[in-house]
Amino acid sequence: MIGGYLAMADPSGDQPTPRVRDTRSRTGYLEEKLITTRTMPRLMVGGAILAIVVAACGGGASAAPTTAPTTAATDTPSTAPTADPMQALVDAAKAEGKLTTIALPHDWCNYGGVIEGFKAKYPGIAVNELAPDAGSGDEIEAIKANQGSTGDAAPDVIDVGLAFGPQAKADGLIQAYKVATWDTIPDSAKDAEGFWYGDYYGVLSFEVNKSVVTNVPADWADLLKPDYKNQVALPGDPRASNQAIQAVFASGLANGGTLDNAQPGLDFFKKLNDAGNFVPTIAQAGTIDSGATPITIRWTYNALAHRDAAAGTVEIDVHVPTSGRFAGVYVQAISAYAPHPNAAKLWMEYLYSDEGQNLWLSGYCHPIRYENLVATNAVPADQLAKLPDVAGAVFPSIDQLNAAKKLITEGWDATVGADVK
């Protein structure tokens, strides 16, 4: 399966686009008032790492957290001695009594199971879930808007696309923390100082409603066939949505483009639109089931989770294209202004434990510690059998992602001209 990674490029300095209304479940733009009333959304910029390499991660898990619990009042390390740092963190988190998350749909990578698992393991810590369908950019805005606030609108933790991690660090919006299993996270998928760290990844796929589409497309070029008129959709607006942007980027890889040249992706979608095959509707579960967007391009884990949920009602097929296989990584971080810093640290410990990482597998996601889990026989065989074949998928660098995002978001209207909403 898929393991370690080549080194990532440094951020290009390109700022996340201010048009941050994409949603993680791709149900369309959030209302502007969500931002002003601090309900807070999220734009996903997934992705990044130069290429997939099969290589085991070195090192084993450390015995305890590498950062001490903090006091709620000062957010500074506690000086109280303890024989068990992990138990001290658990006690401090329970004293806070709450964790505030943001933009975590329950059907995204099995987040529902992850949240319930955390609450069961640490009773007494309530999980306050903000705007589950929001996007990464708005998670960042939520931190900015709630600096110094201890209210329920202030997120403790964020799960964002890779390109947002370095920028959030540069802006002083996140704090460093290294989990006990730090050494088993590939170096290329984490900030060396512990400000952000990759957690899981998936690959773009075609999700197809077979009651509408009898011949499932095998590759990007197939989408141009007359058979698929008014049938191909994206899970977001490619002028703002990362998942949609990366779908355009990926289509170019199969049509003369490279990781350094996303223009063929725009050209491909122009052909798709000119042929009448592109549907300018943001696809979601309901539109897929109804047949309004019977062919949708989105992450394998979203598509496969929906396939399972729709079983017995709608027959869904999920196919990873033969060429242009494109993968994306998402990262975790703790807000520099977290009202519940110890609960946030405990949440990270849970996500990066063997238990937490295997819960990603249950949601068809590839956990970032995959190679270490395999090496230590910590992965259930039935979970491995569920993962799709994504051999040959590539991970763009942060610089490549930022360049493609700029080209696609700024060039969509002039090249393609479809108003996706």
Q: Return the closest-CA partner of residue 326 out of 296, 366, 299, 294.
A: 299
- CB of 209 within 8 A of CB of 306? no
Residues 269-298 pLDDT 10s: 999 999 999 999 999 999 999 999 999 999
What is the rounded CA–CA span in Å between residue 33 and residue 138? 12
Query: Where are the domain boundaries for CATH 3.40.190.10 in the chain?
Result: 32-60+84-201+328-386, 203-323+398-415
Handedness of CA 277, 282, 284, 287 (dihedral sign): negative
Residues 5-64 pLDDT 10s: 333 333 333 333 333 333 343 332 222 222 222 223 333 333 333 333 223 233 333 346
Residue ranges of E strands in 8-83: none
What is the rounded CA–CA span in Å between residue 184 and residue 376? 11
The domain over range 32-60+84-201+328-386 is classified in CATH as 3.40.190.10: yes
> Which residues does the chain have with pLDDT short of 70?
1-64, 66, 71-83
Position 228 scores a pLDDT of 98
The enclosing H or E element of 128 equals strand 126-130
What is the rounded CA–CA span in Å between residue 292 and residue 230? 8
- Phi and psi at residue 207, to the nearest 5°: -100, 125
Other beta carbons less than 10 A from residue 216's beta carbon: 14
What is the rounded CA–CA span in Å between residue 47 and residue 264? 19
Its pTM stands at 0.74
Cα distances (Å, whole numbers) of residue 143 to 115, 130, 252, 325, 333 = 21, 12, 35, 34, 11
CATH superfamily of 203-323+398-415: Periplasmic binding protein-like II (3.40.190.10)
Q: Are β-strands 232-233 and 327-335 bridged in parallel, bridged antiparallel, or unpaired?
A: unpaired
Token couple for 28: 């369309």
Quote the crossing angle between the two packed helices 398-415 and 242-253, to the nearest 10°. 90
